[in-house]
Amino acid sequence: MPPQANVPLPTGYQLDEYRIERQLSLGGFSIVYLAFDKEDTPVAIKEYLPNSLALRSTGDALPSIAEENVATFRYGMKCFFEEGRALAKISHPNVVRVLNFFRANETVYMVMHYERGRTLQEHIQKHKGEIRESFIRTIFARLLNGLREVHTHKLLHLDIKPSNIYLRNDGQPVLIDFGAARQTLSTDTPLLKPMYTPGFAAPEQYNSIRRELLGPWTDIYSIGASMYACMAAAAPQAADQRIERDQLVPAVRRWQDKYSRQLLETVDWCMHLNYLERPQSVFALQKALADKDRIVPRQTLLGHLRKKVKAFIK
């Protein structure tokens, strides 16, 4: 039986010092609300509530948690804390700002600066197939500044995708949803297993045993996939399928008339299945994007190693 959806807190509910206005979204791990603080400033509040472990029914504020799930629920909370802990140290215009953290209703809440605008996902839907090169370059150049800051703090985002890239009305992109930074989750808690988004997750994310394979290049794959999605107006083929049978048409071949070769090559570079072949740091990627004359390095690796990496990922 698939887990049931959780019921959000109702409008007007007084949550600590905040008043709930409405639910912004409901995910498998958490609910996000628009709320107002004492000064009537809007905030976004994320409630830790994995529906595989904790269920809230209509009319209740407290979720019910089965006895055998309490330890796992609390363990997942630890991961929610990790996200808050890391985000708390990051103060960057292109990374969502955390304002407060508190405990209520037997769970925990993260209060964020409320951003006005829409997600890149919504933007792509609205401008299907007509997103210009200059838009992609501007948005991603700024976003990469934020991501660089994230990596500097030894945190990986691990769920970068158009719906987690928020476009503020002033044109600044903001990286949101560090929920997948639940990177501390181990494989022995299947109930909390992070859900990756097909199409945007890097191949090494499917291999949950080897968490040490994750690195800046993992987020960089997702950046490439998000740029690809801007051009295709659809998610690219999922990495686990690509490993079986790679049907992803390289950006260079697909849009040679529409975008510059250098941008297309950079997208393909980011989307290498072999993480060693991708830009190894955000800085390297930024350099490649900024230098329009640069030729992206051709594959240099022995076929031997590539085979090994593939065999390994399987």
Partner 1 sequence: MKFTIYQESRPGKRPTNEDRIAYCYSRDALLMVVADGMGGHLHGEVAAQIAVQYITESFQREAKPDLKDPFLFLSGAINNAHHAILDYAADRFLPDAPRTTCVACIVQDSIAYWAHAGDSRLYAIRGGRILAQTRDHSRVARMVEDGLISAEDATRHPARNRIFSCLGGTNAPQIDFSKKTPLMTGDVVLLCSDGVWGPLPADVIPRAMSTGNVLQASPALLNQAEARGGENADNLSIIAIRWEDSYAEDTLGSVSTKTMPIDSFTTQMEAFAKARKGAQPLPNLSDEDIERAIQEINAAIKKFSK
Residue numbers of the site for Mg ion (CB under 5 A)?
164, 177
To partner 1, the closest distance from the beta carbon of 51 in angstroms equals 19
Instruction: Count how many Cα atoms sit within 13 Å of the Cα of residue 30 in the half-sphere of its side chain.
Output: 24
End-to-end CA distance of the chain: 28
* Shortest Å distance, C-beta 166 to ligand ADP: 6
Out of 65, 88, 141, 249, name the contact with partner 1 by CB under 8 A: 88
CB of 53: closest distance to partner 1 in angstroms? 13
Nearer to partner 1, 85 or 118 (CB): 85
The entry of ligand ADP, Mg ion, partner 1, none near residue 30 (CB within 5 to 8 angstroms by kind) is: ligand ADP
Q: Is 171 exposed, middle or buried (0-12, 13-18, 19+ CB in 10 A)?
A: exposed
Instruction: Tell me the C-alpha distance between 214 and 269, whole Å.
Output: 17
Query: Which CB sits closer to partner 1, 26 or 93?
Result: 93
Q: Which of residues 235-294 bind partner 1 (CB under 8 A)?
A: 275-276, 280-281
Based on the shown chain and the rule CB under 8 A, indicate whether residue 108 belongs to the binding site for partner 1: yes
Residue whose structure tokens are 């980011």 = 270
How many C-beta atoms surround the C-beta of residue 311 within 10 A? 8
Q: What is the nearest approach in angstroms of partner 1 to the Cβ of residue 76? A: 9
Given the structure tokens 């829409």, which residue do they identify? 118
Question: Candidates 26-34, 95-103, 118-126, 237-245 — which segment interacts with partner 1 by CB under 8 A?
Answer: 95-103
106: which 2 tokens? 């037997």
Measured from the CB atom, the residue of 7 and 249 that comes closer to ligand ADP is 7
Chain positions 154 to 173 lying near ligand ADP, rule: CB under 6 A, are 163-164
Contact 220, 282 (CB under 8 A): yes
Residue among 31, 98, 273, 285 that touches partner 1 (CB under 8 A): 98
Q: Of the two residues 114 and 221, which places its CB atom closer to ligand ADP in the complex?
A: 114
For ligand ADP, which is the closer residue by CB, 118 or 258?
118
> Is 48 a residue that touches ligand ADP (CB under 6 A)?
no
Q: Which stretch binds partner 1 (CB under 8 A): 23-31, 37-45, 79-87, 258-266?
A: 79-87
Q: Is 36 or 81 the residue whose CB approaches partner 1 more closely? A: 81
Nearest-angstrom CA–CA distance, 234 and 247: 14
User: Residue numbers of the site for partner 1 (CB under 8 A)?
Assistant: 71-72, 74-75, 77-78, 81, 84-85, 88-91, 97-103, 108, 188-189, 210, 212-215, 275-276, 280-281, 301-302, 304-305, 307-308, 311-312
